[in-house]
Amino acid sequence: MANHKSAIKRIRSNEAKHLRNKYQHKTTRNAVKNWYEVEVKKDAEAALPNLVSMIDKLAKNNIIHDNKAANLKSKLTKHVSALS
């Protein structure tokens, strides 16, 4: 158990940040999963900028690594190109 007031506050704030980060990450992963189910190229292209924006926000807030974000975006754009 923490002995200082600041340590107790840090525990509370870390928990809040952890829950917020977990929510944002899970939301993005679900969006990617649902996006892969789209079979029409035009719909996939329309939804891609929103998805890339979500991934960039995760990387900016250090929820995911910058390289992981770049790899995800690359994979998504390749998938769009492969759709007919």
pLDDT in tens, 5-28: 999 999 999 999 999 999 999 999
Supply the range of the domain harboring residue 49.
41-84
pLDDT at 84 over 80: no
pTM of the model: 0.86
Residue 84 is assigned to a structural domain of this protein = yes
Residue 26 is assigned to a structural domain of this protein = no
Spatial separation of the C-alpha atoms in residues 72 and 67, rounded to whole Å:
9
Residue 33 is assigned to a structural domain of this protein = no
Residue 17 is assigned to a structural domain of this protein = no
- Per-residue b/e over 46-56, b at no fewer than 16 CB within 10 Å? ebbeebeebbe
- Taking only the tens place, the pLDDT of each residue in 54-80 is 999 999 999 999 999 999 999 999 999
Residue 71 is assigned to a structural domain of this protein = yes
**Domain count within the chain:** 1
Angle formed at CA 65 by CA 59 and CA 68, multiple of 5 degrees: 95
Enumerate residues 6+ apart whose C-beta is below 8 A from 80. Answer: 41, 44, 45, 48
Residue 66 is assigned to a structural domain of this protein = yes
